[in-house]
Copies of this chain bind each other. A is one copy, B any other.
């Protein structure tokens, strides 16, 4: 039986999952490949922690050169995360003619161009299915069987921590801070949750999806990114009254020679299948000009699902090696020379429907003055709720607009928030109810 030697850098949770999978399903993989995948080297600085998986003696080392300089190792898995030393290790692996599989969305979203170019020059594969949606094989589908389509939209629920928190806030009417605390206790959120709850992780993943779908590289700083930490149960409850659920969506669109790429809390209709993607599950929906809407869902993170995606990529690369070829498909699906620089639409130019929650002193003519300012900016109202008069000083007026330009809405709000009867900054949530 032929042997393909692989090496793993980063023996954390996902790394341990890969070790477990390669052992548990070794025979299954042989039946598909006609070759054996041998995990020849694992590199990690921590040589002592028990990860609950068996490692053959001599495989684990703290010296990355024992892996990167080993000519027998054909494929390197980079599972350490972060920018450095991940970037250096990936570049060294490529320079040594090794194929690379990485789960590192942050690295690719920021240093993708450098890494993809290096892989192209060297003629090796640089695959990253585990970087988006855990085990959901959506990147492979975009590069693969869906590649005859011109995509107009890609959107997704891409961060399990946020989706878990939002699901519990929705089901229990709980406050963000309280749910975050229990999520941390349960291990669903990091001690420093910023990357997740402020939408940065989602934005990293959106960069990759947009690049694959539209053939144009998008960088993190080009993505408008809002997280979920400012969401209040009040908005979730109003959303439901209007027939909506709030999800942290990654939204990519392409039309009129422009790309939109944005991450923010979004109201979607309760009838939208994405509204039923709850807890730590992830989902991605694409709209292609021929395939129409297609949706993928599954576990978006965790040891085992992510290991499935990592080893799936090992198998893809191994099929190339066994066929005697180096690189078969460019990492973003498009030939490197065909990647375009499609301009990003400025956030002010996007068109959306808006949920606006005004906090006002309860007195006559307040509503007509708000509606007047909105009208002056060309924003028309689809529906409205005013909370019952109460003994409190401030009441809420909630307005759902028809489609409007973001810049017009921002200008109107700037003016309204300066009016004397406004008691708090107006809350804005975008609505997407026209999504395929």
Contact = CB atoms under 8 A, between A and B. Distances in A.
Contacts of A279: none
Interface string A9-28: 00000000100010011001
Contacts of A338: 30-32, 34
A215 interface: yes
Contact of A308 (B29, B148, B307, B309): B148
A329 B325 contact: no
Interface stretch (A221-229, A230-238, A296-304): A296-304
A314 B146 CA distance: 11
Nearest to A143: B32
Nearest to A137: B145
B149 A290 contact: no
A310 to B, nearest CB: 8
Contacts of A150: 25, 28
A136 interface: yes
The CB with the most chain B CB atoms within 10 A, among A32, A140, A297, A314, is that of A32
Interface string A32-56: 1110000000000000000000000
A146 B312 contact: yes
Interface in A133-169: 135-137, 140-141, 144-150
Contacts of A201: none
A414 B216 CA distance: 65
Interface in A42-97: none
A137 to B, nearest CB: 4
A329 B33 CA distance: 8
A308 B149 contact: yes
Interface stretch (A172-180, A202-210, A316-324, A363-371): A316-324
A334 B32 contact: yes
A262 to B, nearest CB: 24
Contact of A293 (B144, B290, B298, B319): B298
A298 B292 contact: yes
Contact of A333 (B25, B32, B273, B295): B32
A191 interface: no
A32 B328 contact: no
A294 interface: yes
A315 B28 contact: no
A291 interface: yes
Contacts of A291: 135, 298-299, 304-305, 308-309
Contact of A145 (B289, B297, B313): B313
A299 B316 CA distance: 27
A129 interface: yes
A67 B30 CA distance: 38
Contact of A135 (B28, B32, B290, B307): B290
B135 A292 contact: yes
A8 interface: no
Nearest to A310: B148
Interface in A239-279: 273, 276
Contacts of A215: 31
A328 B34 CA distance: 12
B146 A31 contact: no
Contacts of A148: 21, 25, 28-29, 307-308, 311-312, 314-315
A304 B316 contact: no
27 contacts: A21-B148, A21-B290, A25-B148, A25-B289, A25-B290, A28-B148, A29-B147, A31-B335, A135-B146, A145-B308, A145-B316, A148-B308, A273-B273, A273-B276, A276-B276, A289-B304, A290-B305, A291-B305, A293-B298, A294-B297, A295-B297, A319-B328, A319-B329, A320-B323, A323-B325, A324-B325, A328-B328
Given A145-B313, A290-B304, A293-B299, 9 more contacts: A21-B148, A29-B147, A34-B338, A140-B140, A146-B308, A273-B276, A290-B307, A295-B295, A323-B325
